[in-house]
Amino acid sequence: MKKLRSIIEKEYFKNNQQLLYISNAYEELHDFADICLCDEDGNYIKFLYSIQTLQASFEYDLIISHFKETRLIKYNDVVEHSNKPLYMCSMFTLKKFDKLTKEDIYNCTKYFLREILDCFLVFNIKIV
């Protein structure tokens, strides 16, 4: 965490800009996103965290082989994910079924900087 904090602060104060650039690793926002630290052109620097909504864990297909018979079972993981805390092991789990928004990313980034990294000097965040 200390190393990640120093990387973020270095990028933030680079060229006396005081602007932190973050980006989604995927093209569009759906129900899951990997948020990365990037430069102003959107070039990847460092992975920060992931965000998911409850929709991201809605159904899994489990294949169970029992003796000579194979079954496909739909498994709903929403209850397990809804009981998780907001942040755990580099993953934010938002308690909603809608798609992610830029506001969700911004709020998670502020929480990540303030509460997880204890980095209160970073104020200006821009989503590239």
Question: Closest Cα to residue 51, out of 7, 88, 6?
Answer: 88
Quick: pLDDT tens for 73-99.
Answer: 666 666 677 777 888 888 998 988 889
Quick: pLDDT tens for 95-118.
Answer: 888 899 999 999 999 999 999 998
| pTM of the entire predicted model | 0.78
Q: Name the one residue in this structure whose structure tokens are 């709903």.
A: 76
Q: Name the one residue in this structure whose structure tokens are 């934010």.
A: 92
Question: Closest Cα to residue 26, out of 18, 35, 14?
Answer: 35
**For 59, which DSSP code?**
-
- d(C-alpha 105, C-alpha 23), whole Å: 9
- d(C-alpha 101, C-alpha 109), whole Å: 13
